[in-house]
Amino acid sequence: MSAPEGEGGGVHAPEGEGGGVSALRVVIADDQVLVRTGFRMILMSEGIDVVGEAAHGDEALRVVRETRPDVVLMDIRMPGMDGLEATRLILAEGGGQDPEELPRVIILTTFDLDQYVYAAITAGASGFLLKDVSPEHLVAAVRMVRAGDAMLAPAITRRLVERFAVPTVNPRTEALHKDLATLTPREREVLGLLGRGLSNAELAARFHLSEATVKTHVARILAKLNLRDRAQAVVVAYETGLITPGVA
């Protein structure tokens, strides 16, 4: 498969190439055509539709509005509007979409502890991928966020948060503290352990519960705190001081 013509032109890839129209739609925003081409080939070989591409943030906004994807793979360092600002705008404004239909954003980066990645997660991104990600991990990540989960291990999010997050008092955190008050003692405990990076299986073992019950607890926590996924839950746990960096 050849690279799309006109890098930076927001070229739309043909839908359903190699397997019919897929229910999972992806936009790739990266200023490197080889990255876009490689990711597109991997995703489409697995029946995932790449419905649009962009080389900078402005194009990403336009392509998202035009294609309404489920997932956006967003390079954080691009000329002009960068991926961080584009992520904020996509998730804050929705490109004209209903908030419930906003795409999930996965940040692409070459650094696994990048302050901009942390900023993107606090802005609503569902996690990040290193650009040298394996094909299997790339496909799994896209499918995970489409299903409503955070695609990165909570432990990695925790590393970012411990490095960059500082508990603060502002209107956002004040509102979060009020929302925390609506959690049951068990839910607060689960949130604290999410912040420590425990998986559903580890939480189930800790509380002697089924994973299905743990998923119910997590879903209720996310709903009460108005969060989209576990990555944001980890951030909230630190920003509100529920847990403290470096304290086991």
Number of Cβ within 10 Å of residue 227's Cβ equals 20
Q: Whole domain around residue 91: which residue ranges?
A: 25-151
Do the domain assignments include residue 12?
no
What pLDDT, on a 0 to 100 scale, did the predictor assign at position 178?
86
Ranking 89-103, 185-199, 212-226 by mean pLDDT, the lowest is: 89-103
What is the arithmetic mean of pLDDT over 224-242?
82
Distance in angstroms (rounded) separating the CA atoms of residues 129 and 204 = 27
Q: Are 75 and 178 within one domain?
A: no
Of residues 8 and 52, more confidence is placed in 52
Q: Are 91 and 128 within one domain?
A: yes
Share of the chain above pLDDT 90, in %: 36
Q: Are 110 and 44 within one domain?
A: yes
What pLDDT, on a 0 to 100 scale, did the predictor assign at position 239?
79
Among 151, 182, 203, which residue terminates a domain?
A: 151
Whole-angstrom distance between the N-terminal and C-terminal Cα of the chain? 49
pLDDT category of residue 10 using cuts at 50, 70 and 90: very low
Ranking 1-10, 18-27, 41-50, 173-182 by mean pLDDT, the lowest is: 1-10
Is residue 128 within 8 Å of residue 157, measured between CB atoms?
no
Distance in angstroms (rounded) separating the CA atoms of residues 66 and 21 = 17
Q: Are 32 and 144 within one domain?
A: yes
What is the arithmetic mean of pLDDT over 18-42?
84
pLDDT digits (tens, 9 = 90+) for 104-123: 999 888 876 667 777 777 77
Q: Are 90 and 128 within one domain?
A: yes
pLDDT digits (tens, 9 = 90+) for 127-153: 788 888 899 989 998 998 887 776 665
CATH number for the domain spanning 207: value is 3.40.50.2300
Q: Are 56 and 113 within one domain?
A: yes
Number of Cβ within 10 Å of residue 77's Cβ equals 15
Q: Are 114 and 91 within one domain?
A: yes
Q: Are 144 and 166 within one domain?
A: no
Is residue 110 within 8 Å of residue 144, measured between CB atoms?
no
Q: Are 139 and 167 within one domain?
A: no
What pLDDT, on a 0 to 100 scale, did the predictor assign at position 165?
64
Q: Are 31 and 124 within one domain?
A: yes
For the chain, give the secondary structure using H, E and C: CCCCCCCCCCCCCCCCCCCCCCCCEEEEECCCHHHHHHHHHHHHHCCCEEEEEECCHHHHHHHHHHHCCCEEEEECCCCCCCHHHHHHHHHHHHHHCCHHHCCEEEEEECCCCCHHHHHHHHCCCCCEEECCCCHHHHHHHHHHHHCCCCCCCHHHHHHHHHHHCCCCCCHHHHHHHHHHCCCCHHHHHHHHHHHCCCCHHHHHHHHCCCHHHHHHHHHHHHHHHCCCCHHHHHHHHHHCCCCCCCCC
pLDDT digits (tens, 9 = 90+) for 194-227: 888 788 888 999 999 999 999 999 999 989 988 8
Q: Are 147 and 223 within one domain?
A: no
Residue 160, classified by CB atoms within 10 Å of its CB into exposed (0-12), middle (13-18) or buried (19+), is buried
Residue type at position 19:
G
Among 95, 123, 151, which residue terminates a domain?
A: 151
Number of domains in the chain: 2
What pLDDT, on a 0 to 100 scale, did the predictor assign at position 20?
42
